[in-house]
Amino acid sequence: MDELSKIYSPKEIEDKWYQDWENNGYFSATMDEEKPNYSIVIPPPNVTGILHMGHVLNNTIQDTIIRFKRMSGYNTLWQPGTDHAGIATQNKVERKLAEQGLKKEDLGREKFLEKVWEWKDEHGGLITNQLRKLGASLDWERERFTMDEGLSDSVKEIFVKLYNDDLIYQGEYMVNWCPRCGTALADDEVDHEEKKGSLWHIKYPIKDSDENFVIATTRPETMLGDTGVAVNPDDERYKHLIGKTVILPLVGREIPIFADEYVDMEFGTGVVKMTPAHDPNDFEIGKKHDLEIINIMTEDGKINELGEKYQGLDRFEARKAIIEDLKTKGILVKTEEHIHKVGGCYRCDTVVEPRVSKQWFVKMKPLAEKALEVVRNGQVKIVPKRWEKVYYNWLENIRDWCISRQIWWGHRIPAYYGPDNHMFVARNPEEAAQQAEAHYGEKVNLTQETDVLDTWFSSALWPFSTLGWPDKTKELEMFYPTATLVTGADILFFWVARMIMMGLYEMEEIPFETVYLHGIVRDENGKKMSKSLGNSPDPLKLIDEYGADAIRFTMLYNTSQGQDVHFSEKLIEMGRNFANKTWNVSRFVLMNLEGFDIKSVGKNELKLELVDKWIFSKFNKTAKDVAAKLDKNTLDEAAKSVYEFLRGDFCDWYVEMAKVRLYNAEDEVSKKTAQYVLWTILESSLRLLHPFMPFLTEEIWQKLGAEGKTIMLESFPLCQEELVDEDAEKAFEYIQTVISSVRNIRAEIGISPAKPVNMIVRTSDALELKALQDNRGFLLNLAKLETLEVGENLEKPKQAGFRVAKNSELYVPLTGLLDSEAEIKKINVQMEKIQKDLDKVTAKLSNEKFTSKAPAQIIEREKRIQKEYQDKIDKLQENLKNFL
């Protein structure tokens, strides 16, 4: 049996074992029809991405679950892949070109896309390699990319089907436009943030009248595109003006005054200017009243030729110039500070500009109805449950999804236009050409739509497109629907809801059974981590310093289901300390197994003692508890359960007690039994710990000489109910209490742990007497006792440290060592505490309301508790006499 090195060094084992696992195909999904199936699709990281702490949490959760299921006998598939991240990736390549003084237009579409693919091939694998450093056991042989050939085919297939089912349409609508990215954004791709701004009050003169309207606006530059002024039809102040016109300041254009219930008479002056080309509400009202739509901005946020003297100015520069001109002409009435919500692009934070544009949309209400139903009826469970209300609210108020983007990198929309702009939607140019020939009666040249699809469109198909759809593959048959989706709540709408909608639409089945929404990783002050704030550590540096296992265990241990994580580097010390302790205790076990061979040990050669029965019982109950918690996705509780068993029960107690037997050459049976139990519990505990800390457990397990190729393909420990022994646990807990009591007396009195003391135990309890006699050697050694007297009628020493353990009185004679006054004070404090508990129980039993209504067994229980408290006080009072 090989020894472990003296120092635990994660660097020396982590890369080695990951390479071994991957080279041997241990992550590959099995396709055994006799086994149950379990699959997870990874939230595909952006191809531009690098590992951050959110990825660490997300992928650690997934890996722990998938390793547990793999060890539990499932066909497991953890589907890897990356997202092409249309806007973000194009921005990366455009910035690279800008360094050479080039724009994408200088290259043309085809050449530019070649550059993007080159960038992807060079940099796109960065994050997947980083996930390997974390220990993520993804089935890399099945890795997909949202723009690989198969997934591109699936996108075209679903687009054509949605179009033919009248769920995709094209139209001129108000959209959110990012001037920097040069593309439309969906409503949920706009991040709204409250910001300080101004409210400018401007005079609008009424034609052929001495009257003026005073109209307030937060965006004076848009007044260049005003085409109407609205008042409420019930507003007595303005009824006489409905139907007249105002003269648009700075422009001189006449625009109509009309009435609409939309106008709030109580807000501002009760008059609203209408700019249908630059405000979504104005756009809807403008359609209703047939207002002219005047777009006064270019795609990059500059004033166009319709802005006359302001042409060419950036929108914010134009704002300053317009305000100055309004002041000069005396028509700026006043300026007020104003807090309002400003929308920013979720990719680059640029302030979005509402813009009327011809775009492609998906009708969402028909798809949303089914997606609502499957969560309401429990087919899809959202964990934590509180997020269901948020999900319902979004889907019940859903708007159509703008899926077109005015960029080059992405899935080009499969629509083709003939010479007269007649449109043909088809899976490929050949199919479009056939449609066109049938329509025109001859072959014609077609031009493909230049827009591409929103990145989230292809991601919405992820659970089934990655499994080979539209082909009917074996993977699709076995692993769809997937089991669990692990993701952040921030993409519940971007991705999760849309996957549910598309899965039900195309596959007529839910895409996953459980949605596990974890929290956000924040710094220790509660701020969201970001590079710009400088509070986001580099996970790779942390892995280099602490090891992946320490970080994984720390993140799981400290992450309650659905709660945000307040992360600091100090937290990792706990994970590192636990890894070190596990390593060191394993090293001790291995060093004390010389000459021991687990394969040659016969059960009849062993003699299990109380401590052996106790540790087997504790282990099996822990195994059952951990499996149950992993099944419920309460990973923090599962991690705590493993931690408490290994660090506490095994390391602090069993191993310490085993030393007494290992170093006792006279009793070979006891020694061999201790070796057998040490090996068995350690090997089983490593399997229990493996999903949480894969590298450490593999290295130790291999050194133990267990049969099998790798721990990750061994079975997860099952609870052997026949080894659960409640009596052994109670008896051993009593021994633990005795030992802890002696140690506490030492500590309180200030006696050195190395100095032997005497102990007297008075008890008439037969089970306690037997436990003391059977474990005398352990007690002498671990409690560091010189003598141990056990009996029913032993004389109490006059001055002694005293404790009550179950039904026993423990005395450590302290003559010459004791400060009598201090001990009297301690006994009085202890009695005072117990007296308070006794008073509560006595009051309850004296309360007629309680005794008349409580069941008999409850009253009996309270009476037993009352007696236990009184017995303890009696014993403490008796002991107090020794010091008076």
403 contacts 457 by C-beta, under 8 angstroms? yes
Give the residue extent of every domain in the chain: 183-354, 548-724, 755-883
Closest CA to 482 of 509, 443, 512: 512
Please tell me what DSSP assigns to residue 492.
I
- DSSP per-residue letters across 77-114: EEE-EEB--HHHHHHHHHHHHHTTT--HHHH-HHHHHH
Distance CA 200, CA 352 (A): 20
Q: What pTM was computed for the model?
A: 0.83
Which amino acid, one-letter code, is at 82? T
Residue 816, pLDDT score: 67
Task: Please indicate if the annotation marks 613 as binding a ligand.
Answer: no
Phi-psi region of 35 (alpha: psi -120 to 50; beta: other; left: phi over 0): beta
Q: Is 515 helix (H, G, I), strand (E, B) or coil?
A: strand
**Considering the domain 183-354, what is its CATH architecture?**
Alpha-Beta Complex (3.90)
153 contacts 571 by C-beta, under 8 angstroms? no
CA 252 and chain centroid, separation: 56
Report the relative pairing of strands 75-79 and 521-523 from DSSP bridges.
Answer: unpaired
Q: Is 584 helix (H, G, I), strand (E, B) or coil?
A: helix
Distance CA 213, CA 238 (A): 10
Contacts made by residues 639-648, CB under 8 angstroms, sequence distance 24+: 639/553, 639/556, 639/557, 639/692, 640/557, 642/685, 642/688, 642/689, 642/692, 643/553, 643/557, 643/578, 645/618, 645/619, 645/685, 645/688, 646/578, 646/581, 646/582, 646/685, 646/689, 647/578, 647/581
Closest CA to 464 of 517, 510, 516: 510
Residue 249, pLDDT score: 93
On the question of a common fold for 183-354 and 548-724, the answer reads: no
Task: Please provide the distance, in angstroms rounded to a whole number, between the alpha carbons at the two ends of the chain.
Answer: 60
Please tell me what DSSP assigns to residue 705.
T
Residue 573, pLDDT score: 94
Token code pair at residue 261: 């219930």
φ/ψ of 644, rounded to 5, equals -65, -35
Distance CA 377, CA 501 (A): 15
Distance CA 650, CA 658 (A): 10
Q: Which secondary structure element, helix H or strand E, spans residue 332, and what is its range? A: strand 332-345
115 contacts 92 by C-beta, under 8 angstroms? no
137 contacts 19 by C-beta, under 8 angstroms? no
Domain 548-724 CATH class label: mainly alpha
For the chain, give the number of residues: 884
Contacts made by residues 654-662, CB under 8 angstroms, sequence distance 24+: 654/611, 654/614, 654/615, 654/678, 654/681, 655/585, 655/588, 655/589, 656/782, 657/611, 657/778, 657/782, 658/611, 659/781, 660/777, 660/778, 660/781, 660/782, 662/592
Distance CA 628, CA 634 (A): 9
Residue 425 sits at the vertex; the CA angle it makes with 421 and 428, to the nearest 5 degrees, is 115
Interaxial angle between packed helices 539-546 and 569-591, expressed in degrees from 0 to 180 and rounded to the nearest 10: 30
Block mean pLDDT (10 aa), the chain, length 884: 87 95 97 96 92 93 98 98 92 92 94 95 91 97 96 97 97 86 79 87 92 90 94 93 94 94 87 92 92 92 92 94 94 88 82 89 96 98 95 94 93 96 96 96 96 96 97 96 95 95 98 95 82 79 96 94 86 95 97 86 85 97 98 96 97 93 84 94 98 98 93 97 94 92 83 87 91 90 90 85 88 76 84 93 91 87 91 84 68
